Amino acid sequence: MRTRAPFRLGLVVHLLYDLADPPLPHRGAFMGSRSPRQLSEADSVFLSVDSEAARSIIAGLSIVDASAAPDFGFERFLRVLAERTALVDRFRWVLRPVPFGLDHAWWVEHEGFNPVDHVQRIALPAPGGERELAELVSLLHRRPLDSNRPLWECWWIEGLEGGRVATMLRFHHCLMDGQSGVEFSALLFDLTAEPVPTASSETDPIVATPRHPTLAEMVRGAIANATRKPERIAVHAARALREGLVRMGDASAHERPPPVPDTHFNDRLSGQNAFAYTSIPLGPIREARKHFDAKVNDILLELLGSSLRSVLRAEGRLPDESVVALCPVSLRSEADAELDNQIASMPVHLATHLEDPIERLSLIKQSSTASKERLRDGAFEAMAALSECFVPGALRILARAAHALPGIVPLPANLVFSNVRGLHVPMYLAGARVEEIYPISMLQVANGMNVTAVSHDDQVDFGFVVDSALVPDPWRYADGIQTALKELEASMMRGESAIEPPDFASDSLVYDVDDEEETIEPLDLMLLMGSLGKTRTASRNWVSPLVD
């Protein structure tokens, strides 16, 4: 790798100070040296829909190799965590709710905050394999977070096979979105085995801490937010009406959202989740991207579609129509340093009704392009509508009703898939090499499966979160990713190239959309900023599944 250690260290330090810049108050906050700060509308949604059936909590599971790090240990990790969390102001904040949910909650400083209080230590039962780790992660991920403290926690997990150690960082989705969460994880990681020292927040405060709002300020904030809702309701109602007319009318196929079939994992959630994971090399994904003239996100969606098809077909549950994935996309600009949620979603066909992987990939490409076109054109987006049209109390009631009676809510998709792009160079946590990073996301109403893929250090790590009552064995889907990769590599070795998908009947799934340059990217959770995101290294000795 050409990048030198001093250059990398300098960029990391620069990143730490960039992320420490004080964010502007959200709408509804009042300026001042110590101003109250209100939870944004987009963040408030995740607080309102949080329930026992589906916690609005996301997490990251990092597995490190401590064999070559003699100074690595729990105490050293605590020191790194303490100094890095000091750089993220809202990790010290708690929420003060508005009575009866009439307006969004307010952030206030948590008195006596100590990051060490948010860390717990636990050991895996023998033999400490991947199944034991996944079961423990599932149990921990069901736990609610203490609303009387800052909404995050960290678990130190010992006892993994080979003397490895895992850390699991959990935080409420209202605290920050996935992009901001991984950027915070980046603060825990270093590009060398020696942790980079950071400035003390006691001597160099980051932002003025938010004070408790007065009753008058809360009333003014509630009135200001309420006056904006009629206009927003009209906008979203118009979008929903237009989408309904498009679904029923004679619009061209690319203007219609994809039809969503019924699957066994689209039902009432039980609140009991399960977790599975797998890892594949990134090299074949890059080769497939070039060979088939596709995007990395399209290739990953093809692998997921292939896995779903094989498992559902073996179980006799494969629907005649394609399974649809809801893919989050980031609305965040590169210059945006805010940590609040700024995401939308687009439905994409996974072409599970097609047997040939090349036909499947071709249809996924066209479906993804068409969905981005609809999003650019102002398609109805449920998350934005919920955040802008309902007060938190009303939204909380609607969310409980939707979980109890999932049939009353139109399904936007069968499952959620996120593509996470990270830094493709070696990373270290408190001096130990980071081997794997598995995302652990949240479930939604009537969606019993959520899949996220994180690319880093020349590999892609997949995390499958499912409702265990609807999907008893998520490992079958995780293992299916490995089989799908072999299938796609075999197609490349045979010299097969991308083809036009077959022509369908009146309810065609083919989209006639020009392949223009994307202005809406898949959810981009960069582990570091700028040019480092394009730096790659062959740091993994991956062997192709097709090589003996």
Burial of 5 (0-12, 13-18, 19+ CB in 10 A): exposed
SS3 193: coil
- Please give the C-alpha separations between residue 379 and each of 325, 358, 390, 527, in angstroms, as whole numbers: 17, 29, 19, 30
- Please give the C-alpha separations between residue 241 and each of 130, 237, 238, 380, in angstroms, as whole numbers: 47, 6, 5, 9
How many CA within 13 A on the CB side of residue 322? 30
Cα–Cα nearest to 155, from 62, 223, 235: 62
Distance between CA 453 and CA 437 in Å, rounded?
9
- Please give the C-alpha separations between residue 402 and each of 51, 267, 393, 468, in angstroms, as whole numbers: 11, 11, 14, 19
Helix (H) or strand (E) holding 478: helix 475-493
Residue 95 one-letter amino acid: L
Contacts with 273 (C-beta within 8 Å, 6 or more apart), sequence order: 138, 141, 142, 443, 465, 466, 467, 468
> Peptide bond before 127: cis, by omega within 30 degrees of 0?
yes
Distance between CA 473 and CA 518 in Å, rounded?
36
Which residues in 9-128 belong to E strands, given as ranges?
A: 37-38, 57-65, 93-96, 106-109, 119-123
Cα–Cα nearest to 28, from 227, 230, 224: 224
Residue carrying the six token digits 């069968």: 414
- Please give the C-alpha separations between residue 233 and each of 225, 246, 388, 390, in angstroms, as whole numbers: 13, 20, 7, 9
- Angle, helix 41-48 to helix 382-389, in steps of 10 degrees: 100
Q: What angle do CA 362, 364, 367 make, to 5 degrees?
A: 110
Residue 313 one-letter amino acid: R
Positive/negative CA dihedral, 290, 293, 297, 302: negative
Q: Both tokens of residue 253?
A: 């196929």
Distance between CA 35 and CA 25 in Å, rounded?
8
- Please give the C-alpha separations between residue 493 and each of 6, 490, 497, in angstroms, as whole numbers: 41, 5, 10
Q: Both tokens of residue 19?
A: 């992320």
Question: Which residues participate in catalysis according to the annotation?
Answer: 173
For the chain, give the number of residues: 548
Phi-psi region of 229 (alpha: psi -120 to 50; beta: other; left: phi over 0): alpha
Distance between CA 311 and CA 323 in Å, rounded?
13
